Amino acid sequence: MLQVINVEKSYGDRTLFKGVSFSLTPGERLALVGRNGTGKSTIFKLILDEEHPDQGEVILPKGYRVGHLSQHLEFSQPSILREACLGLPPDRADEEYKAEIILSGLGFSIEDFERPASSFSGGFQVRLELARVLLSEPNLLLLDEPTNYLDIVSARWLERFLCDWEGELIMISHDRAFLDAVSTHTMIIHRGKARRVQGRTQKLYDLLAEEETIHEQTRLNQDKKRKEVEQFVNRFKAKAGTASLAQSRMKMLEKMEMPEELIEVPVLDFSFTGIPFFGKSLVELENGVFSFPPGNSNPNPTPILKDFGFVCRPGDRIGVIGKNGKGKSTLLRLLAGELKLSSGEIRSSPHTKIGYFGQTNIQRLSKSLTVEEEIASTNHNMHRTRVRSICGTMMFTGDDGTKKISVLSGGEKSRVLLGKLIAQDSYVLLLDEPTNHLDLE
């Protein structure tokens, strides 16, 4: 079983956590929670030996296999069934039926099995990667936001599958209902420490809130007592008859321990830069038809959108819903200009400025750039003071703005994308799964 012993991890002068120790009992399903940037994904990297602790150690038994849902997707096989089968253990490579069961549970149809991964949306590609990981039957399964890009039916299937999981499991997710349904234990990274309990997330949050209330009340009482002693000493230390008593109180004052004041945890608080628009419509789509180019596996693709039309007027807030693969992300990419209609027309005012947050856009961030450089790249006329202000708004304060994109968590990358939207003036915002990778707060 996994053992994490007195682990500490820092980046530059910022300590993520220290003194973190925990172990997994056989069959334990652990929900790992905490705000973005506290180190949840870093815990995964330490277990996977992708990073090393500054202090402490991570111990895995010999032959103990760890499976991980990667955020970096690579596919090489001609069909998704063949891709999924790559996850099967070498001694069970012929058990193709298991791949079919898991792919079906994750929302793929039998007709989909022979299609290449490249013909699917980003959400379905993440599902395919999840299928490969589940088929590998590891001793320990690490899942980082596994319900992202899953519709309700597939999320419920995954919930049932994981409840029957016989190995160990650690999950990170912003979906607390999912965590509570699957987990046996909960651990939080909070104020640089780890706290673990048996039970659901709410039990742990309630316990932390109670402890912090007691801590603050104790601190205030100690502070009041300290001031009273200081007043006594200052009043009586110069008088001959009470000097010895004052000296005794002085020693007591020196020994008195003062609990540290709890620093308020920062909260994301921002607004987009919207510009007034005085026309009748911002964007119009008329008789829109779109299908992806034909390929070997699908020489005559069915249009994803057909005879599609709508109008976006000033003040509209439009929710786009539907099952995965039905064209929601495709529609936004068309409106953003990333894709072109097969036929039909998109009309917009020449003054219309569009801000686009794509569900897979965090993969397009340049790993070699810093947070400041990525945000500045959106508007080269921005002064550095404005760039740093946006970084601060996105909770990248001080030197955090100079961190490389490559070391950021998924949630931190999402905040960089939000920062890039704030850095530009927009009439229309296109937001595709903007809450993926963001914490509950």
Kindly report the CATH number assigned to the domain that includes residue 381.
3.40.50.300
In this predicted structure, what is the pLDDT of residue 121? 74
In contact, 9 and 46? CB cutoff 8 Å: yes
- Whether residue 199 sits in one domain with residue 317: no
In contact, 378 and 361? CB cutoff 8 Å: no
The amino acid at 171: M
**Is 315 part of any domain?**
yes
Structure tokens, 76:
């090489």
Helix (H) or strand (E) holding 429: strand 428-431
pLDDT per residue rounded down to tens, the chain (441 residues): 899 999 999 987 788 999 999 999 999 999 999 887 788 989 999 999 999 999 999 999 998 999 998 767 788 999 999 999 999 988 888 899 999 999 999 989 999 999 999 888 777 888 899 999 999 989 999 998 888 878 788 889 999 999 999 999 999 988 889 999 999 999 999 988 999 999 999 999 899 889 888 888 888 888 888 888 788 878 777 776 777 787 787 887 777 777 777 777 777 777 887 777 877 888 999 999 998 877 655 667 788 888 899 999 888 999 998 877 788 888 999 998 888 999 999 998 777 788 888 866 677 788 899 999 999 988 888 888 889 988 888 888 888 899 999 888 777 888 898 888 888 888 899 998 887 777 777
The amino acid at 178: F
**Is 237 part of any domain?**
no
- Whether residue 54 sits in one domain with residue 173: yes
**Residue 59 to residues 4, 29, 51, 344, 358: CA-CA distances in angstroms?**
6, 18, 14, 59, 38
**Is 146 part of any domain?**
yes
- Tell me how far apart the alpha carbons of residues 174 and 144 are, in angstroms, rounded to a whole number: 10
**Is 33 part of any domain?**
yes
**Residue 303 to residues 94, 107, 289, 325, 343: CA-CA distances in angstroms?**
35, 20, 7, 12, 11
Q: Is 159 helix (H, G, I), strand (E, B) or coil?
A: helix
Positive/negative CA dihedral, 400, 404, 405, 409 = negative
What is the 3-state composition of the chain as percent helix, strand, coil, each rounded to the nearest 5? 40, 20, 40
- Whether residue 156 sits in one domain with residue 54: yes
Q: Tell me 149's DSSP state.
A: T
**Is 55 part of any domain?**
yes
In this predicted structure, what is the pLDDT of residue 71? 64
Q: Which of 176, 203, 230 is the last residue of a domain?
A: 203
- Whether residue 157 sits in one domain with residue 19: yes
In contact, 313 and 343? CB cutoff 8 Å: no
Paired with 11 in beta bridges are 14
DSSP string, 132-145: HHHHT--SEEEEES
In contact, 425 and 160? CB cutoff 8 Å: no
- Tell me how far apart the alpha carbons of residues 420 and 423 are, in angstroms, rounded to a whole number: 5
- Whether residue 289 sits in one domain with residue 388: yes
**Is 109 part of any domain?**
yes
- Tell me how far apart the alpha carbons of residues 431 and 306 are, in angstroms, rounded to a whole number: 22
**Is 240 part of any domain?**
no
- Whether residue 318 sits in one domain with residue 199: no
Number of domains in the chain: 2
- Whether residue 165 sits in one domain with residue 56: yes
DSSP string, 202-260: HHHHHHHHHHHHHHHHHHHHHHHHHHHHHHHHHHHTTSTTTHHHHHHHHHHHHH---PP
Helical spans, DSSP H, in 59-200: 80-85, 96-105, 122-135, 152-163, 176-182
**Is 166 part of any domain?**
yes
- Whether residue 163 sits in one domain with residue 26: yes
- Whether residue 292 sits in one domain with residue 169: no
- Helices 201-236 and 243-255 cross at an angle (nearest 10°) of 160
- Whether residue 411 sits in one domain with residue 293: yes
Q: Which of 147, 169, 203 is the last residue of a domain?
A: 203
Domain extent for 151: 3-203
Q: Is 335 helix (H, G, I), strand (E, B) or coil?
A: helix
Q: Is 404 helix (H, G, I), strand (E, B) or coil?
A: strand
In this predicted structure, what is the pLDDT of residue 72? 72
Structure tokens, 167:
């190995």
pTM for the structure as a whole: 0.70
For residue 204, count CB atoms less than 10 angstroms from its CB and return exposed for 0-12, middle for 13-18, buried for 19 or more: buried
Residues 6+ apart with CB under 8 A from 76: 83
- Tell me how far apart the alpha carbons of residues 328 and 34 are, in angstroms, rounded to a whole number: 30
- Whether residue 94 sits in one domain with residue 187: yes
In contact, 33 and 175? CB cutoff 8 Å: no
- Kindly give the pairing relationship between strand 343-348 and strand 283-290: antiparallel
The terminus-to-terminus CA distance of the chain in angstroms comes to 32
Q: Which of 203, 223, 250 is the last residue of a domain?
A: 203
